């Protein structure tokens, strides 16, 4: 049998020229036909056979290039594949690893790879600067990693304002990525962004390791969808927010999580801001906003950030349309803040920790200095197993509902110490509850203040309130139907008797309010002893005081107790669950508060 080409040319005599006269040629042709038919069948029935065709973009994303880019003002040299340099632009075209070394004062990096490509930019003692543009622009990639080589020192600079071509597309970061961005390594890298934000990812920004220093006109670190900080060291100086996730469209995005690392932020606006949730389980955070807490008696004001060597603060108008209400909070979230651990040093012109929703603190060590509230939530605050020291603030801890279960709180406030403000009636009535821990308040306003209930079932509480008749050591919403009860723990609260309120008869534990004839200077020690002389309570309040409220589980009705104040002593016999003793105080007319509980028993 012979096969002849159907359209094979004929010789001059009209005879068809045979393909081959060798006996095995026919077999080869038959096998080729069978293979072609098999390929057609597979192509048309690949899905049914479980075979997926290899798309062009998939093939591109799986390519792995590698190159070393030597930076120089004379010529940029690319050794390897996947990248090229032209007219001051270093283009990364494929996924792979690209190492930068050397120094160039007028060039930038553009990543223009496949949408699934994995690109790694490695900086090994590299210096790169550009003008009026991002020094690194990731236009397209699946994931881009910026990595610092071991023991290397690197610097990037984007100088001047961005050109219109970038401004119109909202490409506004010294390092700007439209896709996921990762920072890691074991070297150092500094970035100066004079025209906008520092490092921006329009998707997820992951901070893993390395030593990074960012100086920017506006925000320092931005991850629109999310920011995940796992490790590394980050120093941020900026005229906007230090770290920000601002996706306000997708409900499951716009959050920040921090589980380790070291962060130092000096920002003109908020330190760390999450549009939705902020979760912190570890790490060391030092944050200064708006040049620090300032004068807590003054209204918050706009504080500009001045870069070293710059005479005037930068113009932030193009980045903030509401400069008159500039937010300068330390930690801020739109939905919830959850802190499970970590170390925090906050010095803020505005609130130290602020949530538009809830705050849960179940671990960590805090030093907070604030020009407004140290810790503020619009809804509720849960506090346990943490240490909070507030040397200066307007108000210490403020929310509609506050629950303190354990840990320690030490607050010095220019107004109220701990304040459950919010709604005053119904199921959402304000509540301040203490069931454990140690709470110390030195306030120039009310010590404990609630528009609704104050409920104490445990813990150790020391309060020194404002030395005037306009405030009280314990102030609750009796006019709103609230109650003030104690069923456990101990309290010594000193203030002025004119506005003094005390625990109600509904309490399970006895309590005393004792009003003195004369006021005592701040620092004068108050000691309560039982009839055998055993010491029950001791406290030296910071403010001037003329009354003391105290309670502990050792108090019993019918028993006698001695209150020593400096060199003076006062004796009383406890004749009620909640009794008031000592001097009768004539309250000025017009004051809305009144004393609950047993009003009898004056005189000791």
CA distance 352 to 342: 15
Binned at pLDDT 50, 70 and 90, residue 48 comes out as: low
Which runs of E-coded beta strand occur in 2-135?
65-71, 77-80, 83-86, 89-92, 96-104, 108-112, 118-131
pLDDT tens track for 383-441 = 999 999 999 999 999 999 999 999 999 999 999 999 998 765 555 679 999 999 999 99
Structural domain range at position 10? 1-54
pLDDT tens track for 265-299 = 999 999 999 999 999 999 999 999 999 998 886 44
Amino acid 406: pLDDT: 98
Amino acid 313: pLDDT: 42
pLDDT tens track for 496-555 = 988 888 899 999 999 999 999 999 999 999 999 999 999 999 999 999 999 999 999 999
* C-alpha torsion angle, residues 513, 517, 523, 526 (rounded to 10): -40
Domain boundary residue, one of 54, 74, 89: 54
Mean pLDDT rounded to a whole number for the chain: 86
Binned at pLDDT 50, 70 and 90, residue 595 comes out as: very low
CA distance 90 to 111: 8
Binned at pLDDT 50, 70 and 90, residue 584 comes out as: low
More confident residue, 83 or 58: 83
CA distance 65 to 351: 49
**Residue matched to tokens 């979230």:** 333
Lowest-pLDDT range, 4-18, 42-56, 98-112, 406-420?
Answer: 4-18
Amino acid 141: pLDDT: 97
Amino acid 424: pLDDT: 54
**Domain count for the chain:** 2
Binned at pLDDT 50, 70 and 90, residue 467 comes out as: confident
Binned at pLDDT 50, 70 and 90, residue 51 comes out as: very low
Portion of the chain with pLDDT greater than 70, in percent: 81
Binned at pLDDT 50, 70 and 90, residue 159 comes out as: very high
In a domain, 191, yes or no: no
Amino acid 480: pLDDT: 83
In a domain, 148, yes or no: no
Strand partners, 568: 565
Q: Which residues of 47-68 are buried (b: 16+ CB within 10 A; e: fewer)?
A: eeeeeeeeeeeeebbeeebebb
The DSSP secondary-structure symbol of 506 reads T
Instruction: Tell me: pLDDT of 598 over 50.
Output: no
| Number of neighbours of residue 521 by Cβ within 10 angstroms | 11
Binned at pLDDT 50, 70 and 90, residue 477 comes out as: confident
∠ at Cα 520 (513, 577), nearest 5°? 10
In a domain, 424, yes or no: yes
Which of 409, 423, 340, 418 is closest to 373 using CA atoms? Answer: 418
Q: How far is CA 45 from the centre of its chain?
A: 53
CA distance 191 to 71: 17
In a domain, 525, yes or no: no
More confident residue, 29 or 361: 361
Determine the average pLDDT of the residues in 311-316: 42
Amino acid 478: pLDDT: 84
Residues 6+ away with beta carbon under 8 Å from 364:
280, 339, 340, 341, 342, 343, 344, 386, 387
Lowest-pLDDT range, 310-319, 358-367, 437-446?
Answer: 310-319
Q: How far is CA 511 from the centre of its chain?
A: 41
Domain boundary residue, one of 18, 34, 54: 54
Per-range mean pLDDT, top range of 64-68, 195-199, 474-478: 195-199
Instruction: Tell me: pLDDT of 4 over 90.
Output: no
In a domain, 404, yes or no: yes
Instruction: Tell me: pLDDT of 237 over 70.
Output: yes
Pairing of strands 284-289, 560-565: unpaired
- Contacts of 311-316 with C-beta under 8 Å, sequence gap 24+, read 313/239, 313/268, 314/217, 314/239, 316/217, 316/218, 316/239, 316/240, 316/268
Can you give the pTM of this predicted structure? 0.84
CA distance 197 to 217: 6
Amino acid 403: pLDDT: 98
| Number of neighbours of residue 142 by Cβ within 10 angstroms | 15
In a domain, 430, yes or no: yes
Answer whether 442's CB lies under 8 Å from 413's CB: yes
Amino acid 471: pLDDT: 87
Amino acid 27: pLDDT: 74
Instruction: Tell me: pLDDT of 311 over 70.
Output: no
Determine the average pLDDT of the residues in 249-257: 94
Binned at pLDDT 50, 70 and 90, residue 488 comes out as: very high
| Number of neighbours of residue 178 by Cβ within 10 angstroms | 20
Q: Three-class SS of residue 36?
A: helix
Q: Which residues of 266-305 are buried (b: 16+ CB within 10 A; e: fewer)?
A: bbbbbbbbbbbbbbbbbbebbbbbbbbbbebeeebebbbb
pLDDT tens track for 6-28 = 333 444 434 444 444 455 666 76
In a domain, 595, yes or no: yes
List C-alpha distances in Å: 206 to 146, 183, 209, 538.
Answer: 10, 6, 10, 51
Which of 559, 604, 563, 557 is closest to 580 using CA atoms? Answer: 604
Domain boundary residue, one of 54, 75, 99: 54
In a domain, 460, yes or no: yes
């Amino acid at each position: 049998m012979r096969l002849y080409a159907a359209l094979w040319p004929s010789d001059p005599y009209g005879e068809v020229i045979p393909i081959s006269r060798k006996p095995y040629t026919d077999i080869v042709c038959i096998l080729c036909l069978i293979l072609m038919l098999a390929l057609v069948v597979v192509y048309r029935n690949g899905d049914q056979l479980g075979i997926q065709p290899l798309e062009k973009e998939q093939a591109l994303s799986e390519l792995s290039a590698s190159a070393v880019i030597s930076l120089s003002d004379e010529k940029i040299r690319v050794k390897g594949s996947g990248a090229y340099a032209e007219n001051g632009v270093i283009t990364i075209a494929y996924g792979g690893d690209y190492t930068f070394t050397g120094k160039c004062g007028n060039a930038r990096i553009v990543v223009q790879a496949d949408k699934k490509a994995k690109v790694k930019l490695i900086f090994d003692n590299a210096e790169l600067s550009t003008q009026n543009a991002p020094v690194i622009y990731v236009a397209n990639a699946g994931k881009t990693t910026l990595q610092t080589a071991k023991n290397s020192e690197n610097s990037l600079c984007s100088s001047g304002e961005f050109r219109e071509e970038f401004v119109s597309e909202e490409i506004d970061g010294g390092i700007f990525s439209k896709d996921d961005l990762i920072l890691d390594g074991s070297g150092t890298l500094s970035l100066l962004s004079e025209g906008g934000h520092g490092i921006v990812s329009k998707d997820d920004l992951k901070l893993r390791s390395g030593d990074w220093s960012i100086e920017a006109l506006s925000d320092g670190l931005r991850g629109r969808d999310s920011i995940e900080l796992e490790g590394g060291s980050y120093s941020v100086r900026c005229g906007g927010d230090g770290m920000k996730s601002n996706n306000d469209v997708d409900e499951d995005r716009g959050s920040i999580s921090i589980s380790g690392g070291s962060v130092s932020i000096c920002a003109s606006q908020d330190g760390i801001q999450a549009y939705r949730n902020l979760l912190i389980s570890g790490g060391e955070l030092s944050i200064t906003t708006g040049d620090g807490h300032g004068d807590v008696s003054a209204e918050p004001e706009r504080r500009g950030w001045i870069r070293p060597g710059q005479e005037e603060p930068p113009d932030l108008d193009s980045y903030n349309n509401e400069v008159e209400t500039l937010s300068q909070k330390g930690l801020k979230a739109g939905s919830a803040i959850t802190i499970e651990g970590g170390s925090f040093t906050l010095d803020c012109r505005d609130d130290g920790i602020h949530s538009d929703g809830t705050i849960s603190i179940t671990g960590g060590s805090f030093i907070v200095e604030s020009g407004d509230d140290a810790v503020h939530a619009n809804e509720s605050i849960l506090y346990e197993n943490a240490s909070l020291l507030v040397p200066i603030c307007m108000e210490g801890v403020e929310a509609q509902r506050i629950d303190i279960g354990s840990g320690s709180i030490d607050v010095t406030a220019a107004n109220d110490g701990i304040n459950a403000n919010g709604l005053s009636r119904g199921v959402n009535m304000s509540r301040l509850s203490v069931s454990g821990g140690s709470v110390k308040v030195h306030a120039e306003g009310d010590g404990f203040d609630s528009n609704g209930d104050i409920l104490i079932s445990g813990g150790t509480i020391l309060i020194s309130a404002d030395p005037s008749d306009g405030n009280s050591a314990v102030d609750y919403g009796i006019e709103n139907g609230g109650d003030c009860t104690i069923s456990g723990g101990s309290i010594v609260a000193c203030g002025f008797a004119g506005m003094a309120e005390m625990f109600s008869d509904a309490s399970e534990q006895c309590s005393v309010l004792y009003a003195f004839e004369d006021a005592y200077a701040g620092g004068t020690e108050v000691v309560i002893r039982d009839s055998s002389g055993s010491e029950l309570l001791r406290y030296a309040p910071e403010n001037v005081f003329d009354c003391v409220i105290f309670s502990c589980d050792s108090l019993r009705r019918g028993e006698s107790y001695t209150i020593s104040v400096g060199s003076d002593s006062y004796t009383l016999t406890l004749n009620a669950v909640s009794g008031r003793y000592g001097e009768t105080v004539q309250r000025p007319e017009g004051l809305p508060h009144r004393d609950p509980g047993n009003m009898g028993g004056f005189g000791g």
